[in-house]
């Protein structure tokens, strides 16, 4: 693992500045950077021919003018489609290759690559190495089993661990949640490339934050668009927050 450093009161722009631009687009990334967001999150889906694209998926119809599923569509076909805006209307923006976004903006911000397939493609890994972006990127969207496989195959890439559905069930039981977190993630916490547990904010409590910190890991949460909750989570010790409203949350929060 490289020398990853999480910014104090780290705010992550969900899908770029997606409140003002088509999500996961070059415009959304550029807007987030121009508004001094220190980190952006983009969704990474994989086409049928193995290209990593900045698209949530799995259905094309919810976020593009196309139909079907991303993993059943070739890149050539996908590039014929246009991205939908926040209002659901078709824009004139095409789907972006993740490689192109990293080439254009890689050194201008930090990145959270949300891997919708639960793995990173070898070609994208090589792009990260070629651009020397290891210390600017974390990989997320990885359940514990996915994280373990990723750590084995890419030990020098930074990893966030997401809760599995079973984990969510146990963590929802407040009286056992802290103890569960302590033992569930103990082995993963020993991996130097594992940075944090990445979870929905509704599962977070002061006790869980303390247990995760005691493991030597950070607590990253998503997706928070309420200013009061935003401030309360940071006050309770959360290390990083992902939001759809990065500009508004940054302006509302007193660092």
pLDDT tens for each residue of 160-185? 999 999 999 999 999 999 999 999 99
Number of structural domains (the chain) is 2
Average pLDDT, the chain: 96
Asked whether residue 124 carries a pLDDT value surpassing 90, the answer given is yes
Which of 113, 136, 159 is where one domain is finished?
136
Domain end call among 92, 117, 136 = 136
Same domain, 100 and 201: no
User: Tokens standing for 210?
Assistant: 């303390």
Distance CA 213, CA 235 (A): 15
- The CA distance from 180 to 252, in Å, is 34
The answer to whether residues 172 and 67 belong to one domain is: no
Are 24 and 98 part of one and the same domain?
A: yes
Q: How far apart are CA 124 and CA 44, in angstroms?
A: 10
pLDDT of residue 255: 64
What is the model's pLDDT at position 1?
Answer: 47
- For residue 226, tell me if it sits in a domain: yes
Say if residue 88 is in the same domain as residue 176: no
Confidence of residue 89 (pLDDT cuts 50, 70, 90): very high
What's the predicted TM-score (pTM) here? 0.97
Q: Does 200 have pLDDT greater than 50?
A: yes
Q: Which residues pair with 107 in a beta bridge?
A: none
Residue pLDDT, tens place only, 15-26: 999 998 999 999
In a domain, 207, yes or no: yes
Are residue 156 and residue 238 in the same domain, yes or no? Answer: yes
Indicate if the pLDDT at residue 126 is higher than 50: yes
Q: Quick count: other Cβ atoms within 10 Å of Cβ 16?
A: 30
Contact 85, 113 (CB under 8 A): no
Domain match, 74 and 129 both:
yes
Domain membership of residue 214 (yes or no) is yes
User: Which structural domain range is residue 181 located in?
Assistant: 142-255
Q: How confident is the model at residue 253 (pLDDT cuts 50, 70, 90)?
A: confident
How many Å separate Cα 143 from the centre of its chain? 13
- Asked whether residue 153 carries a pLDDT value surpassing 80, the answer given is yes
Residue 69, classed as helix, strand or coil, is: strand
In a domain, 186, yes or no: yes
- Do 217 and 114 share a domain, yes or no? no
CATH no. for residue 47?
A: 3.20.20.190
Apex CA 127: angle with CA 123 and CA 130, to 5°? Answer: 130
């Amino acid at each position: 693992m490289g020398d990853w450093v999480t910014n104090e009161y780290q705010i992550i722009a969900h899908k770029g500045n997606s409140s003002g631009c088509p999500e996961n687009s070059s415009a959304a990334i550029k807007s987030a950077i121009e508004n001094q967001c220190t980190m952006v999150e983009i969704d990474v889906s994989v086409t049928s021919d193995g290209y990593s694209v900045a698209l949530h998926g799995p259905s094309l119809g919810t976020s593009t003018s196309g139909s079907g599923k991303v993993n059943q569509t070739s890149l050539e076909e996908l590039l014929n489609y246009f991205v939908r805006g926040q209002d659901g209307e078709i824009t004139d923006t095409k789907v972006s290759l993740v490689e192109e976004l990293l080439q254009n903006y890689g050194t201008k911000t930090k990145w959270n690559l949300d891997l919708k397939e639960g793995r990173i493609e070898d070609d994208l890994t090589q792009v990260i190495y070629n651009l020397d972006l290891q210390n600017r990127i974390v990989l997320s969207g990885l359940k514990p089993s996915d994280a373990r496989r990723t750590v084995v195959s890419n030990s020098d890439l930074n990893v966030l661990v997401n809760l599995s559905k079973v984990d969510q069930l146990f963590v929802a039981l407040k009286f056992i949640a802290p103890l569960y977190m302590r033992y569930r993630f103990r082995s993963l916490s020993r991996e130097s490339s594992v940075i944090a547990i990445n979870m929905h904010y509704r599962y977070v409590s002061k006790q869980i934050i303390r247990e995760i910190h005691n493991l030597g890991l950070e607590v990253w949460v998503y997706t928070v668009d309420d200013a009061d909750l935003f401030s309360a989570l940071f006050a309770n010790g959360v290390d990083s927050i992902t939001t759809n409203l990065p500009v508004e949350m940054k302006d509302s929060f007193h660092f």
